[in-house]
Amino acid sequence: MIELNLPSLLYTSATINLVMIGVLLHTRVYRRTYPGFTAWTLAVVTNIIGQLGLIAYESNTQSIATNIFATFVIGMPILGWYGLRQFLDLKPNIFWLMAVFAASFTIIVLVSLQSETPYPRRAIISILTLGFCLAGLMDIRRHMSKFVQGGTELIQLGLILSSALLTARLVSIWPLLFDAGLPLENAPQNAYVILVLISVRLLWVLAFIMLTQQRLELELVQSQAKTQSLANKLEELNAELFNDSRSDALTGLANRRHFDEQFAREWERHYQYKATLSVIAIDVDHFKLYNDTYGHSAGDSCLTKIGETLSDIAKRFSSLAARYGGEEFALLMPSTDAQLAQVAAREILQTIEDLNCAFPASPTTKSRLSVSLGVHTTVPATSAVANSFIQEADKALYAAKRLGRNQVQVYGQD
């Protein structure tokens, strides 16, 4: 059977720590790491140095070298706790870390000078290690929200087991503090505690690697969500740009490009179904004179009001209202016969009259702004878009202007 004694366990612990170093370095090379990773690696390195040093100088309890290596041994819980706080973004102070190491070394030296046996030093190391394990456990519990859900069980288990085993070790060492004649090898329970602590170290490293992996997965999910959010915003911006390219900035109505595209679609659809298509051409009377008299700001205000009027009427007649030019507007009325189109045109005329945009200089009304309207209705006879249809509506509009403005004229009716 393998003899279970302190030197063999320390050699075994150092060997396992070398394996842990290899695992950590592999993670460093092939995976992205996070704050705290360097501290965890240094924790394992210092523990290896401390254990090998204690094997060499164990017989000389009061030597400075022994106390230095003992301090290296507790570097694992101190640096492990420091790395954990870095991982939690708690921004630990490097000078505070150095002060902890100095204080630990001082305590170990003072205790060692008071005793010729290694047991007081081992008790102090166990107490310090227990303290940092409990501090790490408290940090994890206090800042649980910074971990991936379900990612802390292993590390908490490792810290709890370590705390329990260190407590057991203190209990087992306690009688030896008062009985220097009993060597550690004659207290096998201490050896078993050290053996289990070696296994717990592996649990710690596995837990840290799992946390790193889960943080990678979390960042991947967050990155995908961010990418999707950016894609949605880009889609919204594209939709806004598309709408802006098809609408008039001043009135909010469709612009001429949108009107022409919709007219082409409606023409094709009405040709297929042999349906009646109507259009109303609208022009503001003497608008240049209005602008010259009251200014472009007042002119824009009137155009906005006219746009709102046409938008409301277009909704009621299931039509498309558009600003066709500077002061020219158009209403595209699918599946609308001549009679209904004339009703809509007269409603537009009356509603704009009710807006009462003051215009005493108007040669037509002598009091307010007015509009002239031309109406045209047809059943498309060919699939080719007939631009003459719009031109004929314009002819009706010109007839309204020629006959005195502020009126509705229908194409083909004298």
Count structural domains, the chain: 2
In a domain, 248, yes or no: no
> How sure is the predictor about 318, in pLDDT bands with cuts at 50, 70 and 90?
very high
In a domain, 273, yes or no: yes
In a domain, 239, yes or no: no
Same domain, 41 and 187: yes
Pair 307, 323: CB distance under 8 Å: yes
Cα–Cα distance, 306 to 298 (Å, whole number): 12
Predicted confidence (pLDDT) per residue in 338-348, tens digit: 999 999 999 99
Same domain, 198 and 293: no
CATH of the domain at 334: 3.30.70.270
The mean pLDDT of the chain is 80
Q: Which residue has the higher pLDDT, 9 or 73?
A: 73
CATH of the domain at 23: 1.20.1070
Alpha helices in 58-151 (DSSP H): 64-73, 75-87, 94-113, 119-142
Q: Which domain holds residue 163?
A: 6-228
Same domain, 210 and 271: no
| Res 27 pLDDT > 70 | no
| Res 79 pLDDT > 70 | yes
Same domain, 34 and 129: yes
Q: Which residue has the higher pLDDT, 123 or 267?
A: 267
Work out the average pLDDT over 128-136.
82
Lowest mean pLDDT among 44-58, 208-222, 272-286, 392-406: 208-222
Same domain, 210 and 263: no
Same domain, 215 and 313: no
pLDDT for 185 equals 45
pLDDT for 145 equals 64
**Does the active-site annotation cover 327?**
yes
Token pair recorded at residue 138? 């408290």
Same domain, 67 and 124: yes
In a domain, 233, yes or no: no
Q: Is 44 helix (H, G, I), strand (E, B) or coil?
A: helix
Same domain, 173 and 39: yes
Pair 148, 94: CB distance under 8 Å: no
pLDDT for 128 equals 82
Pair 111, 128: CB distance under 8 Å: no
Predicted confidence (pLDDT) per residue in 133-163, tens digit: 788 878 877 776 665 555 567 667 767 777 7
Predicted confidence (pLDDT) per residue in 350-379, tens digit: 999 999 889 999 999 999 999 999 999 999
Work out the average pLDDT over 5-12.
62
| Res 179 pLDDT > 60 | no
Work out the average pLDDT over 263-275.
93
Annotated catalytic residue, options 327, 328, 347, 353 = 327
Closest CA to 119 of 58, 76, 168, 33: 58
Same domain, 406 and 298: yes
Same domain, 57 and 147: yes
In a domain, 90, yes or no: yes
> What percentage of the chain exceeds 90 in pLDDT?
35
Closest CA to 303 of 330, 323, 279, 280: 323
Same domain, 201 and 106: yes
Cα–Cα distance, 312 to 110 (Å, whole number): 92
Lowest mean pLDDT among 24-38, 86-100, 120-134, 363-377: 24-38
> What percentage of the chain exceeds 70 in pLDDT?
74
> How sure is the predictor about 331, in pLDDT bands with cuts at 50, 70 and 90?
very high
In a domain, 247, yes or no: no
Q: Which contacts of 57-60 are long-range, i.e. CB under 8 A and separated by 24 or more positions?
A: 58/6, 58/7, 58/118
Same domain, 297 and 220: no
